[in-house]
Homo-oligomer: A and B are copies of this chain.
Amino acid sequence: LLIDKLIMPNALIRKLGSFELLSKAESQAVLAAYKNVRKIGPRKLIIQQGDKPHEAYVILEGIACRYKLLPEGTRQIMDFLIPGDLCDGHVFVIRKMDHSIGTISPCTVAYVDLPRLAKLIEEYPRISRALWWVSLIDEAVLREWIANVGRRPADKRIAHLLCELFMRLERIGQANGSSVEVPISQIDLADAVALSTVHTNRVLRSMAKKKLIAMQRGSITVKDVKTLMQIAEFDSSYLDMNGRKAKRPNRQNSRVSL
């Protein structure tokens, strides 16, 4: 379990490495920027809308989300954060967070030393560029969400989000064969697709009847991605527009300790 924690940070390196070939020195520099690892309970606030961020962190285990609370009291989730995702590159630019970040399931989070991260960016142009590229991918995801929330009917909308989460979770090795358990509640899902929980439930229920998914309290398991992708007219290309094929994680780097 401890070993997991030590190895997981490579998720970030793997991610950065899929855009830029990082040298051994660069990878080690990234790992050296990790400060400490913390466990956070479910549905806890990590950073709040309006706060000035003073830390950056990487999700190692669990799932979190970015969201906004609107004045009417409704919540809009704008992204799910899964292991390997860097939570705040924003740290340098931003005075005030425009959104909040909170955990959904219990999470393990690695905190990044800010001065050291700043130095990294200064010293290694490739790391800086890799971070930029990660942002560009994030933008593509956000654009797809706008189209999803704006123009798709409820069933396609939910199917589309499930497909995206399936792909992203599968990519980090969370798949059991062809099925993936997505550890979010119907309430979270509803706030991500901008539908009421009532209607979300009805759509999910009808999907479950067709064996496309299975429902548990607090999670949904995708069973039949293929037909979900047909329903959503899902095109995954927005998720992997990287310049080169993702490199297999480098065994040597995997052994670098914190």
Residues of A at the B interface (CB closer than 8 Å) are: 19, 66, 68, 70-72, 74-76, 78-79, 89-90, 92-96, 98-99, 121-122, 125, 128-129, 131-133, 135-140, 142-147, 149-152, 193-194, 233, 237-238, 241-243
A149 and B149 contact, Cβ closer than 8 Å, known pairs A94-B241, A95-B241, A142-B143:
yes
Determine whether the beta carbon of A147 is less than 8 Å from that of B68.
yes
Partner of A99, one of B95, B143, B151: B143
Determine whether the beta carbon of A76 is less than 8 Å from that of B146.
yes
A227 to chain B, nearest CB (A): 16
B residues in contact with A142, CB < 8 Å: 139, 142-143, 146
A155 to chain B, nearest CB (A): 13
Q: Copy number in this complex?
A: 2
- Complexed CA–CA distance, A99 and B139 (Å): 11
User: What are the 6 tightest A-B residue pairs by CB atom distance, in nearest-first order?
Assistant: A150-B194, A142-B142, A132-B132, A98-B238, A135-B135, A76-B147
B residues in contact with A129, CB < 8 Å: 121, 128
Residue on B nearest A96 in the bound complex, by CB: B237
A70 to chain B, nearest CB (A): 5
Partner of A241, one of B76, B96, B143, B241: B96
A143 and B68 contact, Cβ closer than 8 Å, known pairs A76-B151, A243-B92:
yes
- Complexed CA–CA distance, A179 and B122 (Å): 42
Determine whether the beta carbon of A93 is less than 8 Å from that of B242.
yes
B residues in contact with A122, CB < 8 Å: 125
A98 and B143 contact, Cβ closer than 8 Å, known pairs A93-B133, A93-B137, A125-B121:
yes
A98 and B237 contact, Cβ closer than 8 Å, known pairs A90-B136, A132-B131:
yes
A116 to chain B, nearest CB (A): 16
Residue of A96, A143, A146, A233 with highest tally of chain B CB at under 10 A: A146
Residue on B nearest A152 in the bound complex, by CB: B70
- Complexed CA–CA distance, A138 and B137 (Å): 12
Residue of A76, A95, A150 with highest tally of chain B CB at under 10 A: A150
A94 to chain B, nearest CB (A): 4
B residues in contact with A128, CB < 8 Å: 125, 128-129, 132
A54 to chain B, nearest CB (A): 14
